[in-house]
Chain A
Amino acid sequence: MTNTMHWTRITHTENIPVREGRAVKVGELEIAIFNLNGRFLTIENRCPHKGGPLCDGIVSGTTVVCPLHGWRFDLESGMAVMASEPSCVATFPTRVEEGIVLVNLPVERTTRDSKLSDSK
């Protein structure tokens, strides 16, 4: 099952307003989907710095700024921008079909229950 990816239907495009992000939990994985004027991009919703919810950040061009301490990530590459040390968040291929956002997610993480894996 390792490394298997699956295009997962997530939500209708209108649920994600322009230049904002929304968090969605799929199994143990929490993703943040952003709407850049009709172009949708997905990253893991967890800032590598202190775990901040990136979905709540302000979007600037193709980057998002973490609301907790201002770390900035490029939504296309996942790379931290102008950070003191290199850092990145996972990105997931995203496409829109018939008004629905689909994200290609790793099956292993989306089929595991976050609560159970947390309590391990």
Chain B
Amino acid sequence: MKRLIVIGNGMAGVAAVEQILKYQHDFEITIFGDEIYANYNRILLSLVLAGEKSTEEIILNNHDWYRANGIHARLGIRIAAINIGSHCVIDDQGRATEYDKLILATGSRAFIPPIPGVDKENVHVFRTLDDTRALLKKARPGLKAVIIGGGLLGLEAARGLQIRGCEVSVVHLKETLMDRQLDLTAGEYLKRKIESLGIHVLLPKHTAEILGNHRVEGVRFESGEELEANLVVIAAGIRPNAELARDAGLAVRRGIVVNDYMETSHPDIFAVGECTEHRGQTFGLVAPLMEQAKVLGATITNHRGPAFTGALPATKLKIMGVDIVSAGSIDETEPDIEVLRYEDPGLGIYKKLLLQHNRLRGFILVGDTEHEHRYLDWMRTGADLREHRRHLLFPPQDADPGLEIADMRDSEIVCGCNGVRKGDIIAAIHKHGITTLAQLKRCTRASTGCGSCAHVCEKLLRAVVPDFQKETESTLCSCFPFSYDRLREIVRSQKLKSVQEVLNVYGNRKGCEVCKPALSYMLDMLWCGEHEEDRSARFINDRVHANIQKDGTFSVVPRMRGGVTSPAELRRIADVAEKYRVPMVKVTGSQRIDLLGIKKEDLPRVWADLGMPSGQAYTKGVRMVKTCVGTEFCRFGVQDSTRAGIELERRLENLYTPHKVKMAVVGCPRNCAEATVKDIGMVGQDGGWQVVVGGAAGKNVRKADLLVTVETTEQALEACMLFFQYYRENANYLERTYDFVERLGIERVRKETVYAPEAEKRKLLDRLARSKALAKDAWLEGQNPVHPTQFVQIQPIDKPALTTL
């Protein structure tokens, strides 16, 4: 056995080890890492800061992996010196460990510019998990944070801190944010986006000093202006960690010099990752590191041959909803450069391609990054684009979305972070019988880097795996460039609390009758009353809590749980009908009574006189639970359906849903209240209940699917509640349960509701309980309207004298 030591437990070092493991080798591998954590995904730290991912979620290789592969992990140990003569490394405790081969993967560190005051308390960098944890400890609402550096990392740190409630300013030396990747126009778009998120952007600003005694109190710029700050984060770039190599006598310039085979100036020592310098270039992105790791894996296991010839610079900003990709050269002044541009200021979309002799040299995508992979592949392969010139910015529409995938060549790279090709993915799917994205990730590592190629991986899965199930992706409406699912993810992770805010930051600022109610629902479901209720974004029915009729009058349906009423209620209903001269009183198909033709201004008095809560017959919400008389009176009944139905209605009433939810509970399989064609139904059996979901008897007729069979009424109610909340959280707006259940498949629905792990079930029920605790009878607004003139007929101040004809 030969002893291989790797200094550095980061992405590059461990990727190199993973590559070595792919070959026959006789190494005993020891990895030293000065961080205490197992190998984690450094590029996702900004998501940890923003609270979108937990620290566990960004671990790439856990301790089991080290054990399973016989790798000694020596974590929390810094190597202080390399003694080339005696083939050993010396740690900070002075202990020596011998090697036969050595890999330097020491990475890079944050560059700290020589600004007076950088040593003050509360000046941070943002580079490691510990840095992230330190920032998380400081971040609190109202804290004034200044980020020095408006590059990728600076912006991601800014957003993370701002989501945590800090008041954040980004200060950048240049006129353009991310100036190394973007042109002026793209920089302007980005600036606008960042500002609309509520982050201050100061350009161009040269920081002269960090102010304060011990602790940061502010920053002063060269212009003399000052800015108050309790926290400063320096994100001014990185520098390779090359001192260890330099002290050992290896060739080092800015980084550790390596050749095309990742060999340093000493035959037993190799280097990989951000600590290296290759053909005068240093590195700060993941894709080239992965390429280097592959080459090193081959070289060190005596398969020297594959060469590293440099990598395409490609950058992607990871701020939810701020989609920006830049790759290649964006220098317009090079000879024979042709520039193609497209802009939509309303949607915040900007695309720019730089061609040279019909070949793509670079591109910038803002707001719409869908064709990123196509462009990257064209750049990698140097494709001649003469044939494609009419379709460079907008590829021709394919009727079949699978076609685009079919057109991709097997050698095309899908996951730029890990260098996974389309062919690798297809082969893995066939070889390992992969059916889910999670399996694909584990097996190929595709989309485990920045995660931006997940949708391409899904398309491949859909094309190759016949029973692959994944939500259809369609945009909500033309106001947003995102699907409903993605928008919900944005709203959730970015903690957006008002419809107008979502529209201003991520949409066209205007919104429409489709997205406004959808967003209103989304905010209410996610934040349960902590959001800003905006009635202008609601359909009229949800402003006045009644159903608009063809003549502009409204219908009123009071809640009658389980369809059970009383003589007193009926008397009040009759009195109201007479008092307000209600043109029609009608019994509905839902076992309720409908009062039709009521004027808007009469609604609050009608509700007060009825003295009954809202039946929600006008909204996308819980409509009713219809029941039969069950064991109470029926000679066939085997379950107390009336009482169970009333209880079900009590537990879910006043809640809102993606589309209306109609329910029924029947006391025997004769199904008199038609539970099997309801969104949720309980069917009484001798000794138990069947809970059925996804039924319909409207525009569509569909028999409900069996969710579960249980013994007790309480279990049946719980199953209903699990499905109910699951539907609330996962359906698209205006998607009825029958479409939802068909889209996901009943097996998946079961697995994620009634057969989910107890902890998951508990979470669903807890979230439901939280919503329910804040849900109110909407008709209480009759006495306390959201706006004073909501139910008032405004009279003109001037009353022109009426003349009779």
Residues of chain A whose beta carbon lies under 8 Å from any beta carbon of chain B:
6, 8-11, 15-20, 22-27, 50-53, 56-61, 65, 67-68, 70, 100, 107, 110-113, 116-117, 120
Segment at the A interface, from B294-302, B312-320, B457-465, B546-554: B546-554
Top 5 A-B residue pairs of the complex, sorted by shortest distance between their CB atoms: A19-B536, A61-B510, A56-B540, A53-B552, A9-B797
B760-805 at interface with A (beta carbon < 8 Å): 787-789, 793-805
Closest B residue to A12 by beta carbon equals B797
Contacts of A57 in B (CB 8 A): 513, 540
Given contacts A52-B552, A70-B513, is CB(A15)–CB(B805) below 8 Å? no
Interface centre among B539, B550, B798 (most CB of A within 10 A): B798
CA distance A117 to B795 in the complex (A): 20
Q: What are 26 contact pairs spanning A and B, CB under 8 A?
A: A8-B798, A11-B794, A11-B797, A15-B788, A15-B789, A23-B793, A23-B794, A25-B793, A25-B796, A50-B550, A56-B540, A56-B543, A56-B548, A58-B537, A58-B538, A60-B510, A60-B513, A60-B516, A61-B509, A65-B513, A67-B539, A68-B548, A110-B800, A111-B803, A112-B803, A116-B804
Contacts of B551 in A (CB 8 A): 51
Contacts of B550 in A (CB 8 A): 50, 68
B703 within 8 A of A: no
CA distance A56 to B536 in the complex (A): 9
B684 within 8 A of A: no
B584 within 8 A of A: no
B8 within 8 A of A: no
The smallest C-beta distance from B793 to any residue of chain A, in angstroms, reads: 7
CA distance A106 to B715 in the complex (A): 66
B36 within 8 A of A: no
Cross-interface CB contact of B536 among A59, A112, A117, cutoff 8 Å = A59
Contacts of B510 in A (CB 8 A): 60-61
CA distance A100 to B798 in the complex (A): 11
CA distance A120 to B804 in the complex (A): 11
CA distance A3 to B48 in the complex (A): 67
B511 within 8 A of A: yes
Q: Do A120 and B805 touch across chains, with their CB atoms under 8 A apart?
A: yes
Cross-interface CB contact of A11 among B513, B535, B796, B805, cutoff 8 Å = B796
Q: Do A20 and B535 touch across chains, with their CB atoms under 8 A apart?
A: yes
Q: Do B797 and A100 touch across chains, with their CB atoms under 8 A apart?
A: yes
Q: Do A18 and B536 touch across chains, with their CB atoms under 8 A apart?
A: yes
The smallest C-beta distance from A63 to any residue of chain B, in angstroms, reads: 8
Given contacts A60-B511, A68-B548, A112-B805, is CB(A26)–CB(B796) below 8 Å? yes
CA distance A5 to B608 in the complex (A): 42
Q: Do A8 and B795 touch across chains, with their CB atoms under 8 A apart?
A: no
Contacts of B509 in A (CB 8 A): 61
Q: Do B804 and A113 touch across chains, with their CB atoms under 8 A apart?
A: yes
Contacts of A65 in B (CB 8 A): 512-513
Contacts of A19 in B (CB 8 A): 534, 536-537
Q: Do A112 and B802 touch across chains, with their CB atoms under 8 A apart?
A: yes
B295-341 at interface with A (beta carbon < 8 Å): none
Q: Do A10 and B552 touch across chains, with their CB atoms under 8 A apart?
A: no
The smallest C-beta distance from B792 to any residue of chain A, in angstroms, reads: 8
Given contacts A56-B540, A59-B536, is CB(A10)–CB(B796) below 8 Å? yes
Contacts of B804 in A (CB 8 A): 113, 116
Q: Do A6 and B536 touch across chains, with their CB atoms under 8 A apart?
A: no
The smallest C-beta distance from A96 to any residue of chain B, in angstroms, reads: 13
Cross-interface CB contact of B796 among A9, A59, A111, A116, cutoff 8 Å = A9
Q: Do A111 and B536 touch across chains, with their CB atoms under 8 A apart?
A: no
Cross-interface CB contact of A58 among B513, B800, B801, B805, cutoff 8 Å = B513
Q: Do A17 and B535 touch across chains, with their CB atoms under 8 A apart?
A: yes
B522-543 at interface with A (beta carbon < 8 Å): 534-540, 543
CA distance A41 to B789 in the complex (A): 18
Q: Do B802 and A24 touch across chains, with their CB atoms under 8 A apart?
A: no
Contacts of B517 in A (CB 8 A): 58
CA distance A107 to B800 in the complex (A): 8
Besides A20-B787, A57-B513, A111-B800, 14 more A-B contacts (Cβ < 8 Å) are A8-B796, A10-B796, A10-B798, A15-B794, A17-B789, A19-B536, A25-B793, A56-B543, A60-B511, A61-B510, A65-B512, A67-B548, A111-B803, A113-B804
Q: Do B512 and A16 touch across chains, with their CB atoms under 8 A apart?
A: no
CA distance A27 to B548 in the complex (A): 24
Closest A residue to B789 by beta carbon equals A15
CA distance A45 to B800 in the complex (A): 19
Cross-interface CB contact of A113 among B513, B538, B788, B802, cutoff 8 Å = B802
CA distance A24 to B801 in the complex (A): 16
Q: Do A20 and B794 touch across chains, with their CB atoms under 8 A apart?
A: no
Q: Do B797 and A10 touch across chains, with their CB atoms under 8 A apart?
A: yes
Contacts of A120 in B (CB 8 A): 805
CA distance A6 to B540 in the complex (A): 31
Contacts of A67 in B (CB 8 A): 539-540, 548
The smallest C-beta distance from A103 to any residue of chain B, in angstroms, reads: 9
Cross-interface CB contact of B800 among A22, A27, A51, A60, cutoff 8 Å = A27
Closest B residue to A56 by beta carbon equals B540
CA distance A50 to B552 in the complex (A): 10
Q: Do B539 and A111 touch across chains, with their CB atoms under 8 A apart?
A: no
Interface centre among B513, B517, B537, B804 (most CB of A within 10 A): B513
CA distance A16 to B789 in the complex (A): 7
Contacts of B536 in A (CB 8 A): 17-20, 58-59
Give 1 or 0 for each of B611-630: 1 = CB within 8 Å of chain A CB. 00000000000000000000
Interface centre among B509, B537, B796 (most CB of A within 10 A): B796
The smallest C-beta distance from B620 to any residue of chain A, in angstroms, reads: 14
Cross-interface CB contact of B798 among A9, A18, A23, A51, cutoff 8 Å = A9
Closest B residue to A70 by beta carbon equals B513
Give 1 or 0 for each of B138-175: 1 = CB within 8 Å of chain A CB. 00000000000000000000000000000000000000
The smallest C-beta distance from A3 to any residue of chain B, in angstroms, reads: 15
CA distance A75 to B788 in the complex (A): 24
Q: Do B535 and A24 touch across chains, with their CB atoms under 8 A apart?
A: no
The smallest C-beta distance from A116 to any residue of chain B, in angstroms, reads: 6
Contacts of A107 in B (CB 8 A): 800
Contacts of A112 in B (CB 8 A): 802-803, 805
CA distance A23 to B548 in the complex (A): 15
Q: Do B548 and A24 touch across chains, with their CB atoms under 8 A apart?
A: no
The smallest C-beta distance from B335 to any residue of chain A, in angstroms, reads: 45
Closest A residue to B554 by beta carbon equals A56
The smallest C-beta distance from A117 to any residue of chain B, in angstroms, reads: 7
